[in-house]
A and B are shown apart, each in its own frame.
Chain A
Amino acid sequence: MMFNAPETQKMNANVAPVSIPDPASVALPKTFQTVRTPDPEPRQVRVHAKDVSVFYGPKQALFDVSIDIPEKAVTAFIGPSGCGKSTFLRCLNRMNDTIEGARVSGTIQLDGEDLYDPKLDVVELRARIGMVFQKPNPFPKTIFENVAYGPRIHGLATSKTDLEQIVVESLQKASLFNEVKDRLHEVGTGLSGGQQQRLCIARAIAVSPEVILMDEPCSALDPIATAKIEELIDELRANYTIVIVTHSMQQAARVSQRTAFFHLGILVEEGPTEMMFTSPAEKRTQDYITGRFG
């Protein structure tokens, strides 16, 4: 392996000039203005992002994204693959920190607190902004231990009964409890895909986050499991601020109140979901939702 790495890099360097130029690096849209349409009745803003750019090494993946994410609503990020929507989502709880060479500029605030303040502890931040991933990723532990993991590491439960209560409540909130109540001490990886994903949501809920980020939570699931998750998201909206990245425009239309359209690393347009899917202001949004490209 060690001999391989430089070789591959060299090959890439040789290949780069003949390949098609990376669109993101050509169309540097410094002056581009996101088209914004406010909600008819304004909501409280929880997360406020301003001029967020993300670089992976020398490559820029996101260009000056500014967006406000409202409370107790579902905000959907849509766009063709590689448009930067997941990248932006990961910025919101600093998961990009775990990627070597990733760099974030601009400001993101949660209730007015700068998320990238060096004094802020990322551990605390991620407890407040939970995340659900594309592929269900339960830990190779029992269902109970999966949900209890967060409360345990953060020291949220004061007693054993307290912990059990948190686990049961979280499973109930994730509409999973009835299906698994008899087998809480079986391995979580033995569940079906949809159940696993709901387990992951229960796991995220268990630390009572304020915001839940979902990165294409249904992309690995069948339609029935997807419907259940969508139903769950709709229920959760009452208590949490939810941001969901999705590949499916129908899903965005079904579950979200606001939609943001990303393309080539820029935020093209954002507005109320209904408006975005009926009368978008931008031609590119129009083209995307009508299936001209994607």
Chain B
Amino acid sequence: MNSLVVAALLLLLLAASYQIGLSRSRAVAGSSTLKMHSRPNYHGMMVALWCLVPALAILLVWFFVGDDVVRTYTLSLLPPEVVNGDATQLRDALRRVEQISTGYGVVGDAQPYENAAGQSLHEFRLLTFWATVAVAAGLGIIGLLVMRARIAPRLRARNEFEAVVKVLLAICSGIAILTTVGIIASLLREALHFFSFISPMDFFFGTVWAPRFSATAGGDYGQYGLLPLLWGTIMVSTIAMLVAIPLGLMSAIYLAEYAPRKVRAFAKPAIEILAGIPSIIYGFFALVTLGPALAALGGMIGVPIRATSALTAGIAMGIMIIPFVSSLSDDIITQVPGAMRDGSLGMGATKSETIRRVVLPAALPGIVGAFLLAVSKAFGETMIVVLAAGNAPILRFNPFEATSTVTVSIVNQLTGDTNFASPQSLVAFALGLTLFAMTLCLNVIALYVVRKYREQYE
């Protein structure tokens, strides 16, 4: 109900102030001999801004500090022995007072001090609420009047309004930066916290991953060697690339250079469907269909392949990355100027010679960039490996065995547990920092290469 009142108030202020600005502007225009600099609607919008901004600021302040104020007030109403007593008892008392103040009532007999406190709280709430509303409305109206008085033919209301819009737009574009800063800051902070438990040497160069569960006390946190996870990540990504790069690149070449228009119109979106499928679905596919099939295949040819292994996860991930590679490569191949192809074909080169000797070398930087982006995607992929890699963080080199990756361990260490004090969950941030650094390097190089490539043919 309160928020409805506030919303109604704001809407009312908005409409009224805009209208007031509009009619004031028209009146000024009518009485003045000078030509108005700005159209009336800009005056209206400026008045609305001058009115709403102070009002909103007051309401926001109350939104953030209001609960604390009410709590402090409620505490002052309670007898000191309750306030200084047992924490659960205090919480219970606060709740009861709260219930009495809203008129809901409490079960059992209410203490006299509870009734009194409830009554006072009720009044206090009402008072502060209306006081806030009044202050907000008052400031808003003052703003309104000040701005209304400013309206004059020479006032550059449009420029002022546009400056405000520009500032708002700039703030929005700052959010993307803030996100990056937030990522780096939070990862670094928690990772440093982690390194206060475990030395960075043991983390980055350790070969055993065996974190103890937080229940084990006594300062023994277990071992946090990154290398098994890193190796697992690299192994799975390599397998994925072995699947995705040949298939994706050849598909792109075929679709860009050979396919008749009708085939291209059908096949390109069909392959891109693969890109829109959430990775959890590939995980399901790997776990339920691909893994058992590979295990059966291994049985046939006499190689023991586990159903959940680096191979299973790698192949599923490779399938997922095919469209990524193919559409990026397709873009890059089609950017190679047609004149280049004509030059080669005109000399009697066959199409495949033209592609292999002219188009691909010309597109190479761009394609390498695309591959790097694909590798970065493979490094960061989580759900497929969580489901299909078998979660065995052991340093071994057989891709037919279960393995684990950096991302899997992040999920395992942090899921369901947000105790930010133990190395068991903090290690997720050290892992995340490693992952972020790796993908950042790949992305920056790849983006730079691709950008240079684009500029070359623009």
Interface stretch of the complex, out of B98-106, B287-295, B354-362: B354-362
Residues of A within 8 A of B265 (CB): 2, 5
A92 to chain B, nearest CB (A): 11
Residue pair B346, A130 in contact (C-beta under 8 Å): yes
Q: Is B343 an interface residue (CB 8 A)?
A: yes
Within 8 A of A (CB), among B294-353: 337, 339-350, 353
Interface stretch of the complex, out of A47-55, A64-72, A200-208: A200-208
Within 8 A of B (CB), among A80-111: 93, 95, 98, 100
Q: Is A277 an interface residue (CB 8 A)?
A: no
Give the number of chain A interface residues (Cβ < 8 Å). Answer: 30
When the two chains form the complex, which single residue of B261, B268, B350, B357 contacts A123, counting CB atoms closer than 8 Å?
A: B350
Q: A124's closest neighbor in chain B, by CB?
A: B348
Q: Binding site of A, secondary structure by majority: helix, strand, loop or mixed?
A: helix
Residue pair A140, B343 in contact (C-beta under 8 Å): no
Residue pair B348, A141 in contact (C-beta under 8 Å): no
Residues of A within 8 A of B341 (CB): 98
Give the number of chain B interface residues (Cβ < 8 Å). Answer: 23
Residue pair B346, A127 in contact (C-beta under 8 Å): no
Known: A2-B268, A5-B265. A139 touches B340 (CB 8 A): yes
Residue pair A139, B343 in contact (C-beta under 8 Å): yes
Q: A136's closest neighbor in chain B, by CB?
A: B339
Alpha-carbon distance between A200 and B343 when the two chains are bound, in angstroms: 8
Q: B268's closest neighbor in chain A, by CB?
A: A2
Known: A137-B342, A139-B340, A153-B357. A130 touches B347 (CB 8 A): yes
Q: Is A154 an interface residue (CB 8 A)?
A: yes
Alpha-carbon distance between A128 and B347 when the two chains are bound, in angstroms: 8
Residues of B within 8 A of A203 (CB): 343, 347
Alpha-carbon distance between A140 and B457 when the two chains are bound, in angstroms: 11
Residues of B within 8 A of A204 (CB): 346-347
Residues of A within 8 A of B361 (CB): 139-141
Q: Is A125 an interface residue (CB 8 A)?
A: yes
B286 to chain A, nearest CB (A): 29
Alpha-carbon distance between A127 and B268 when the two chains are bound, in angstroms: 34
Residue pair A137, B348 in contact (C-beta under 8 Å): no
Residues of A within 8 A of B261 (CB): 100
B34 to chain A, nearest CB (A): 48
Known: A2-B265, A141-B361, A149-B357. A127 touches B347 (CB 8 A): yes
Residue pair A126, B346 in contact (C-beta under 8 Å): yes
B330 to chain A, nearest CB (A): 11
Alpha-carbon distance between A291 and B358 when the two chains are bound, in angstroms: 42
Residues of B within 8 A of A141 (CB): 361
Residue pair A123, B337 in contact (C-beta under 8 Å): no
Residues of B within 8 A of A124 (CB): 348
Q: A135's closest neighbor in chain B, by CB?
A: B339
Contact indicator per residue, chain B 142-164, by CB within 8 Å of chain A (1) or not (0) = 00000000000000000000000
Q: A213's closest neighbor in chain B, by CB?
A: B346
Q: Is B269 an interface residue (CB 8 A)?
A: yes
Q: Is A133 an interface residue (CB 8 A)?
A: yes
Alpha-carbon distance between A131 and B361 when the two chains are bound, in angstroms: 22
Residues of A within 8 A of B358 (CB): 139, 149
A146 to chain B, nearest CB (A): 9
Alpha-carbon distance between A159 and B349 when the two chains are bound, in angstroms: 20
Alpha-carbon distance between A140 and B339 when the two chains are bound, in angstroms: 12
B266 to chain A, nearest CB (A): 10
B276 to chain A, nearest CB (A): 14
Known: A2-B268, A2-B269, A149-B357. A137 touches B343 (CB 8 A): yes
Alpha-carbon distance between A124 and B350 when the two chains are bound, in angstroms: 10
Alpha-carbon distance between A127 and B345 when the two chains are bound, in angstroms: 9
Alpha-carbon distance between A203 and B261 when the two chains are bound, in angstroms: 32
Residues of A within 8 A of B344 (CB): 139, 149
Residue pair A133, B343 in contact (C-beta under 8 Å): yes
When the two chains form the complex, which single residue of A126, A140, A200 contacts B348, counting CB atoms closer than 8 Å?
A: A126
Q: Is B219 an interface residue (CB 8 A)?
A: no
A20 to chain B, nearest CB (A): 28
Residues of B within 8 A of A153 (CB): 347-350, 353, 357
Residue pair A137, B349 in contact (C-beta under 8 Å): no
Q: B362's closest neighbor in chain A, by CB?
A: A140
Q: A1's closest neighbor in chain B, by CB?
A: B268
Residues of A within 8 A of B348 (CB): 122-128, 150, 153-154, 207
B139 to chain A, nearest CB (A): 50
Residue pair B347, A95 in contact (C-beta under 8 Å): no
Q: Is B218 an interface residue (CB 8 A)?
A: no
Most buried by A among B269, B346, B349: B346
Supply 12 A–B pairs (Cβ within 8 Å), ascending by A.
A95-B342, A95-B346, A98-B342, A126-B346, A126-B347, A131-B342, A141-B361, A150-B349, A153-B347, A153-B348, A204-B347, A207-B348
Beyond the given pairs A133-B339, A139-B358, A153-B347, 9 more chain A to chain B contacts, judged by CB atoms under 8 angstroms and listed by A's residue number, are A93-B346, A98-B341, A98-B342, A126-B347, A130-B347, A133-B346, A149-B357, A154-B348, A207-B348
Q: A residues touching B (Cβ–Cβ < 8 Å)? A: 2, 5, 93, 95, 98, 100, 122-128, 130-131, 133, 135, 137-141, 149-150, 153-154, 200, 203-204, 207
